[in-house]
Structure 1
Amino acid sequence: MTMKAARSARSLRAHPTFATTLWPWLRILAALIVIAAVVAQLGASIAKAEELGRDVGTVVANFLSFFTVLSNAMSAAVLCWAGVHSLIDKGEGAQPRSLSIALACVTTYMVVTGLVYNALLRNEALPQGSAPLVRGPLIVSPLTGERPWYPYPFLNPFTVGGWGWVLVYVAVTAAVVLAVGLLVVAWTRRDSALSKRDATVSER
């Protein structure tokens, strides 16, 4: 294992450009793609609302209630932050604690988005989004006075059998977020420990 770690350390020293130049730009590119997708979806939602004569403000508020949208927007912001920091720092210093926490958070959010979608929403018709929000925003159309709107079926007490079941779904989702977050933190610490060990081996 020691020899393997030493070879890994030598490899990193021999190829420093990926971590210091290419990887930051890939992060920024991914962030721009996510931003473009969110903006395009918002534009499509607004255009559809205008076509159907719906209140645009309400549609925008509803759009921003989807956890998919929020988690992707946060991921884009953090990826940009991480990419710019890497380009400025050039691998010479340690990653700020605040950035490490932000990366762990958005990683957790995106993993939960995929897990809950596949567990609860895979067979549901949801053209506006595909992941849960752990709260149901009570937004009523100012033009039509329509009943409260919920982003996902399992947050709607009228479709899941009452508020009791909504609370169950919220509790389960919260537990999943906590579990995934703990796994992400554990993995990050493990990776950090391995990097420090490789650095120690390379100095011998």
Structure 2
Amino acid sequence: MRILFAVTRIAVAIAITAAVVAQLTTSIGFWQGRGLADVTSNVVSFFSFFTIESNVAAAVVLAVGAVMLLVRKGANDTTLYTVTRAAVVTYMVVTGIVYNLLLRGIELPQGSTVGWSNEILHAVAPVYLLLDWIFAPGRVPLGARRIRPILVFPIVWVVYTLVRGPLVVDAVYGNDFWYPYPFLNPNTSANGYLSVAFYVVLIAAVIGLVAAGVLWISRRKPRTRLMR
């Protein structure tokens, strides 16, 4: 069982990495085709997508988890790794939910979209991360207070996005601002920052609920004492 999950984790980590690289390569080609000699700012913007950051973290967590399954034999995962994994699972599940409910079919400011890459990053990987969390061996139970570190990154990301947005010039589309997702863009939202605030609160609630569910799952079949 441990070998099966180790191999699967490596395969999914490779698939995620390939998907990110394929989309980045395509985006760079798109930007250069628009006559941009310096694509540095656009590359930074590319890695400012919550989806990309979550998937990069997922690939790393899966790779580390595969090694732990093979090296630690029958031992449980460390608490640090389990908390980190719980956070990444939360982000990936939220990525899947938000994209498929709010963003599917909407053009994002990343250039030409790679179809198969898009599906891996927004559908395949989130589903696998959740299944891996439920069924893979080694997980230790986590107490409810572990929700706090899980929420740190989304809060930092929202602040970063809203502060950076009006300071970045979108050379590709000729805008004096750049936001990764339309619902965070006060310039195009129906009620400006009021609409943005609504979506931020809504998605924060979704993240909190998903995180609580992820922690609850960790306690269903405890293999060690509860980590409070």
Q: Per the shorter chain, which TM-score range?
A: 0.7 to 0.9
TM-score by length of 1: 0.77
Indicate whether 1:169 and 2:205 are aligned.
no
Amino acid corresponding to residue 58 of structure 2 in structure 1: S
Rounded Cα–Cα distance in structure 1 between residues aligned with 2:100 and 2:19: 21
Rounded Cα–Cα distance in structure 1 between residues aligned with 2:173 and 2:54: 30
Amino acid corresponding to residue 62 of structure 1 in structure 2: S
TM-score by length of 2: 0.70
Give 1:97's aligned residue. Answer: 79
Rounded Cα–Cα distance in structure 2 between residues aligned with 1:81 and 1:159: 41
Question: What's the CA shift for 1:177?
Answer: 0.5
Rounded Cα–Cα distance in structure 1 between residues aligned with 2:11 and 2:174: 42
- Gap change, CA 1:58 and 1:31, over 3 Å in 2: same
Rounded Cα–Cα distance in structure 1 between residues aligned with 2:173 and 2:23: 24
Q: State whether residues 183 and 199 of structure 2, in contact with CA within 8 Å, keep that contact through their aligned partners in structure 1.
A: yes
Per-residue CA distance 1:47-101 (angstroms, 9 max, x = gap): 111111123112101111111111100000000111111111122x221001111
Rounded Cα–Cα distance in structure 1 between residues aligned with 2:174 and 2:51: 26
Give 1:158's aligned residue. Answer: 187
Let me know the Cα RMSD of the aligned residues. Answer: 2.4
Q: What 5-or-longer segments of structure 1 have no aligned partner? A: 1-17, 197-204
Of 84, 101, 109, the match for 2:67: 84
- Gap change, CA 1:79 and 1:189, over 3 Å in 2: same
Amino acid corresponding to residue 124 of structure 1 in structure 2: I
Q: State whether residues 86 and 214 of structure 2, in contact with CA within 8 Å, keep that contact through their aligned partners in structure 1.
A: yes
Q: What 5-or-longer segments of structure 2 have no aligned partner? A: 123-153
Give 1:8's aligned residue. Answer: none
Question: What's the CA shift for 1:146?
Answer: 4.1
